[in-house]
Amino acid sequence: MDQKIIERAKAWLSDQYDAETRKSVQNMLDNDPNELTESFYRNLEFGTGGLRGIMGAGTNRMNVYTVAMATQGFANYIKKMNPGKKDLSVAVAYDCRNNSPAFANVTADVMSANGIKVYLFDCLRPTPELSFAVREMKCDAGVMVTASHNPKEYNGYKAYWNDGGQLVSPHDKNVIAEVEKITDPSMVNFKRNADLITILDEKFDDIYLNKVYGLSLSLDLIKKHKDLKIVYTPIHGTGRRLVPEILKRKGFENVYCVEEQMVVDGDFPTVKSPNPEEPAAMALAVNKAKELDADLVMATDPDADRVGIAVKDDKDEFILLNGNQTASLFVYYLLRRWSELGKLTGKEYIVKTIVTSELLFEMAKKYNVERFDVLTGFKYIADKILSLEGKKQFIGGGEESYGYLAGDFVRDKDAVIATSMIAEAAAWAAEQGKTLYQVLMDIYEEFGLYKEKLVSLTKKGISGTEEIKAMMERFRTTPPTEIEGEKIVEIRDYKLQEAKDLRTGKITPIALPKSDVLQFFTEGGSKITVRPSGTEPKIKFYFSMKAPAGVPIAEAMKTLDKKLEKAAELLTK
């Protein structure tokens, strides 16, 4: 056992830690050297997205002390960036996870103890409502206690700036530097100032829901198709009240919730993982939809910023859509309705991440709507919206990892907005005598079929890190020249911040922050992205292959499935 680990652990036996924490640490010292090592071998890292980790006692765990130290560093930075300002304020919210209320309250304690006014929600709320609160209450920052769709053992802490978006450069790195200065709980001011804490209740929900309602594009069509059967599950999380409520306010009368998963429970007893990307997480909802002969299934993750959906195919069987397919339906509906309602003026735009399907751009081109790519992570979409504020109108956008947004009053992915607009899109489709699946097929017929596949390779330890670096270097020095018979015509290297046209040799600068990402584009419109994960010991391969418009869909799907399998086998070996 490393002596430094033992010394770190013994420091947690002092009186500045509560009795339960001291007991847990003593038990590890006496009986569990492996857990002791995992809990104390390092400090839990405050990364560019905040904190995320397994809950428990120790320097490398999520607990009230690591949360408090992070909050002290964040409070110091807020004050540093606003010298002389006397009415500093933050919004604080939390999700359904175990210990989330305690972590939110210690955040409020420390912020208020540092003279910063706190708007604290009275109970669990979706992440996007926290983003909205930062903007609505004109706060200087915000904190959301959540680990999103991670397993039950985890919790997290997302930091937001005054625009309602998660921290981006330079704030992300600067906050990390301030947090790293707080090395011990004795450096934290814990003394809560109750006079500086204002509780936000259901009245604030109404302000938010009114804004969501205001995005509606098809209320008249919902009236005609109010009987559409919708099955919804919050997977034990924060969408449980607001999603059914906004659907009701819009006029949908047949919304059926999965009762077992309406129960708030941080142990997520009905699923292995509360992630709507995984079929198992949506199984109860799909089964209920089959029993009811429903039209649409929607599931939100625990903090209700992402949504997964299932629709009926042409065989009347429910199929799960991936994030790119849902993003395509979402953006297509927005573009079509904005066009049909005469709302397009030439100043509108959409945003997607670089790993998201190019289909979104193809659709936007038809409507002469401007298009922007950003790095992976919704905070970059928020940053793009901020940069164009007052100049252009954001219609909507999203990312392949099930996060979507319409309107600009929230600056993070929003499943409350997304579910309400997807349900609207179903009513709009029904008015044309179609299902959402048929609309998706129409999109493929017009713009070409796009199919996607994500492959993640886990490479643990120091040797794994080196192996990932070597793989990226190999792709840079000896890139593939073709993918499944399609010649590669462009390579984008986001680390070098340049795109090279292999047909002409022309090099074009990429106006995005540096990132260790490579993309290969083929002459047929396919795209392969290679990207090391920023949070896990993984390297990710995003495959998006295209069949031209006019090819029979069924035939094209089979062809692309084979191409995807072979491409994945070739590039990831």
Give the pLDDT band (50/70/90) at residue 551: confident
Any domain includes 24: no
Query: Is the model's pLDDT at 487 over the cut of 90?
Result: yes
Taking only the tens place, the pLDDT of each residue in 303-315 is 999 999 999 999 9
Of 114, 170, 111, nearest to 141 by C-alpha is 111
Q: Which of 447, 482, 507 is the last residue of a domain?
A: 447
253 and 397 belong to one structural domain: yes
59 and 139 belong to one structural domain: yes
State residue 395's pLDDT score: 98
Any domain includes 321: yes
Any domain includes 93: yes
Domain count, the chain: 3
Give the pLDDT band (50/70/90) at residue 463: confident
Query: Is the model's pLDDT at 462 over the cut of 80?
Result: no
CATH number of the domain bearing residue 514: 3.30.310
434 and 487 belong to one structural domain: no
Q: Which of 390, 414, 447 is the last residue of a domain?
A: 447
Q: Which residues lie closer than 8 Å to 390 by C-beta, 6 or more apart?
A: none
Average pLDDT, the chain: 96
152 and 276 belong to one structural domain: no
Residue 469, SS3? helix
Taking only the tens place, the pLDDT of each residue in 91-104 is 999 999 999 999 99
Taking only the tens place, the pLDDT of each residue in 410-426 is 999 999 999 999 999 99
Any domain includes 11: no
Residues 108 and 120: beta-carbon distance below 8 Å: yes
Domain carrying residue 505: 449-572
Taking only the tens place, the pLDDT of each residue in 22-41 is 999 999 999 999 999 999 99
Any domain includes 19: no
Taking only the tens place, the pLDDT of each residue in 360-403 is 999 999 999 999 999 999 999 999 999 999 999 999 999 999 99
Residues 10 and 29: beta-carbon distance below 8 Å: yes
355 and 434 belong to one structural domain: yes
CATH number of the domain bearing residue 301: 3.40.120.10
Query: Is the model's pLDDT at 1 over the cut of 80?
Result: no
348 and 217 belong to one structural domain: yes
Residue 268, SS3? coil
Any domain includes 20: no
Residue 160, SS3? strand
Output the six-digit token pair for 271: 């699923």
Q: Which of 413, 447, 481 is the last residue of a domain?
A: 447
359 and 307 belong to one structural domain: yes
478 and 530 belong to one structural domain: yes
Q: Report percent pLDDT > 70 for the chain.
A: 99
Any domain includes 422: yes
Residues 381 and 355: beta-carbon distance below 8 Å: no
- Positions marked catalytic: 148
What CA–CA distance (Å, rounded) separates 161 from 8? 33
501 and 550 belong to one structural domain: yes
281 and 407 belong to one structural domain: yes
| DSSP code of residue 62 | B
Any domain includes 17: no
Bridge-based pairing of strands 318-320 and 518-522 is unpaired
89 and 238 belong to one structural domain: no
Higher pLDDT, 136 or 150: 136
423 and 493 belong to one structural domain: no
Residues 64 and 102: beta-carbon distance below 8 Å: yes
Give CA angle at 309 (274, 219), nearest 5°. 125
State residue 535's pLDDT score: 64
